[in-house]
Amino acid sequence: MRWRPTLALMLLATPLRAQAPDPAHDGPPLVLRLAVAPAGPVWVGQRIAVTLTALTPLRFADPPSWPDLAATQGRMILLPEGGTVPGVDRVDGKDYVALQHTYSVFAAEAGPLVIAPVAMALRVGGPNGQPVEAHATTTESRITARLPPGVSDVTRLVVAPSFRMTAAIEGDVGQLRAGQAVVRTLRMQADDTTSMLLPAGAWGSPEGVRVYPDPPVLQDRSERGIFHASRSERVAFVPERAGPLELPGFAVTWFDPRSGRSREVRADAVRLDVLPADAPGTETGTTAGRWAALLGAAGMGLLIVGGIAWGWRRRSGPHRCEAPPITALARACRSGDAQAAVRALYRWSDAVRPPGGERTIAALARQAGVPALAREAQALEDRAFGARDSRWTGSALLDAARRTERALRNRAGQVSTPALPALNPAAAPRPAPRMSQPRWVR
């Protein structure tokens, strides 16, 4: 195939006068071809280049609108991006003007993958020089996808020619005390794949530790036809008591489709010694006693002044309090901001969740008997971290949250609550975002 950079001339060039029918181009006015590379068996998660070529004897009157690919058997992931290249090819021994469009497809499960025939209708140059409507359809394409040897969990699998994973700890953890945060970071980088296929960090939920994950940062870019994907995560762990602490590690299976070899890439566990939060000081002597007396007097004065101010504010106006979590969730739902709604949903769920048990939205929905909460939360997460076409609406999520609160209040009426608050209250935890596979992978 001889390719030439003549796309603009193909689309814009118009004959100055009507052309007589050309007997040399009495073939079909439009031909479509669908090619798959690699053509042989592929691995689950491996990038497949599917090229759709449109050919016409004279010229394309309009730029083609390339259709999406669909699978009639098996499941696949289709990236929205695609490149178009002009050129010239031969059909039945005759020169045809050609346009090639390449899709990036990933097999989502083992077994046969059948790409449905593609049909297109285009305006092309006719024998007399005037545009005519032409139709063409490809045949279906069949691909066989296999799991790499020894792999059973595709959610922990990366199929790419190159892969790097680095884990680190921010700050000095040598003097970590109960109630202080230790931050772990994770970065994954891979070529010839997409960031949505990079697995999430398996941080776990250590006993006696609150976990505060930030939403992951996914990035994709293309350089000279090579895809580069990255995923970054940042998670804060806050121990609630002193003693030895182990933050779990995890592993990812990396399979290189070129060599056919796999290896395990690990993020090691972190072992810490947490000190008590109320460690006594070591200062002694007259100076220390004097400072202690001064600080005690100052503290007493502040308490007196604060009490007076508090009483005056109660008499002079209504008591101001922080807006309840449901108010913040309602504000985020009405704004349509999926990222803000995810954060507000996590804070609200931790505020209303009964103590003990599993700390997930699905578990909260089961406790309250409101399955719509789990369904709307999943739709929100798909919108925020995955498929942009998710049918999430803030009003449905807000209605499910309010019904959950009412159900939990009714059940809590028969359960006594402790008279005193927690000794060391902490900020409401945010469970890790559940970056699931896209809808068509589930």
Where is average pLDDT lowest: 6-20, 283-297, 319-333? 6-20
Q: Are residues 131 and 160 in the same domain?
A: no
Q: Are residues 172 and 267 in the same domain?
A: yes
Rounded average pLDDT over 232-249: 93
Q: Are residues 119 and 179 in the same domain?
A: no
Q: What is the mean pLDDT of the chain?
A: 80
**Per the domain annotation, does 284 fall within a domain?**
no
**Which of 146, 176, 196 is the last residue in one of the domains?**
146
Placement of tokens 């050919």 in the chain = 55
Q: What share of the chain is helix, strand, coil (3-state, %, to 5)?
A: 25, 35, 40
Rounded average pLDDT over 125-135: 88
pLDDT of residue 25: 57
**What residues does 132 pair with on adjacent strands?**
124
Q: Are residues 93 and 113 in the same domain?
A: yes
**Per the domain annotation, does 189 fall within a domain?**
yes
For residue 291, is pLDDT > 70? no
**Could you list the residue range(s) of the whole structural domain that residue 158 is in?**
154-274
For residue 356, is pLDDT > 80? no
Q: Are residues 134 and 94 in the same domain?
A: yes
What backbone phi and psi angles, to 5 degrees, belong to 137? -140, 140
Handedness of CA 31, 37, 43, 45 (dihedral sign): negative
Q: Are residues 81 and 209 in the same domain?
A: no
* Strand (E) or helix (H) holding 89: strand 76-91
Rounded average pLDDT over 110-127: 93
**Per the domain annotation, does 305 fall within a domain?**
no
Percent of the residues in the chain that have a pLDDT greater than 70, as a whole number = 76
Residues 6+ apart with CB under 8 A from 165: 186, 187, 188, 189, 252, 265, 267
pLDDT of residue 391: 66
Q: Are residues 34 and 138 in the same domain?
A: yes
For residue 351, is pLDDT > 70? yes
- What is the distance between the alpha carbons of residues 40 and 38, in angstroms, rounded to a whole number? 6
**Per the domain annotation, does 267 fall within a domain?**
yes
pLDDT of residue 6: 42
Neighbours of 110 (CB within 10 A): 16
Residues counted in the chain? 442
- What is the distance between the alpha carbons of residues 334 and 388, in angstroms, rounded to a whole number? 18
- Reference 73, options 114, 109, 38; nearest CA is 114
Look up residue 173 and give its amino acid: V
394 with 334: CB under 8 angstroms? yes
State if pTM tops 0.85.
no
Q: What is the pLDDT of residues 88-99, one digit of tens each?
A: 999 988 999 999
**What residues does 325 pair with on adjacent strands?**
none
Q: Are residues 129 and 201 in the same domain?
A: no
Look up residue 247 and give its amino acid: L
Q: Are residues 109 and 158 in the same domain?
A: no
Q: Are residues 164 and 126 in the same domain?
A: no
Q: What is the pLDDT of residues 186-195, one digit of tens each?
A: 999 999 999 9
Rounded average pLDDT over 109-115: 93
One DSSP character per residue, 244-296 reads EEEE--EEEEEEETTTTEEEEEEE--EEEEEBPTTPPP---SHHHHHHHHHHH
**Per the domain annotation, does 254 fall within a domain?**
yes
pLDDT of residue 3: 46
Q: Are residues 333 and 365 in the same domain?
A: yes
- Helix/strand/coil for 56: strand
Residue 276 tokens read as 């008590």
pLDDT of residue 7: 42
Q: What is the pLDDT of residues 359-401, one digit of tens each?
A: 788 888 888 899 988 888 888 877 776 655 566 778 888 898 9
**Per the domain annotation, does 342 fall within a domain?**
yes
* CATH code at position 255: 2.60.40
**Per the domain annotation, does 282 fall within a domain?**
no
Q: Are residues 142 and 183 in the same domain?
A: no
117 with 140: CB under 8 angstroms? yes
Neighbours of 280 (CB within 10 A): 6
**Which of 233, 256, 274 is the last residue in one of the domains?**
274
**Per the domain annotation, does 100 fall within a domain?**
yes
Q: Which pLDDT band, with edges at 50, 70 and 90, does 239 fall under?
A: very high
Look at the chain and report how many structural domains it folds into. Answer: 3
What backbone phi and psi angles, to 5 degrees, belong to 236? -105, 135
- What is the distance between the alpha carbons of residues 313 and 87, in angstroms, rounded to a whole number? 78
CA distances from 271 to 169, 268, 432 (A): 12, 10, 21
**Which of 93, 117, 146 is the last residue in one of the domains?**
146
- What is the distance between the alpha carbons of residues 63 and 84, in angstroms, rounded to a whole number? 11
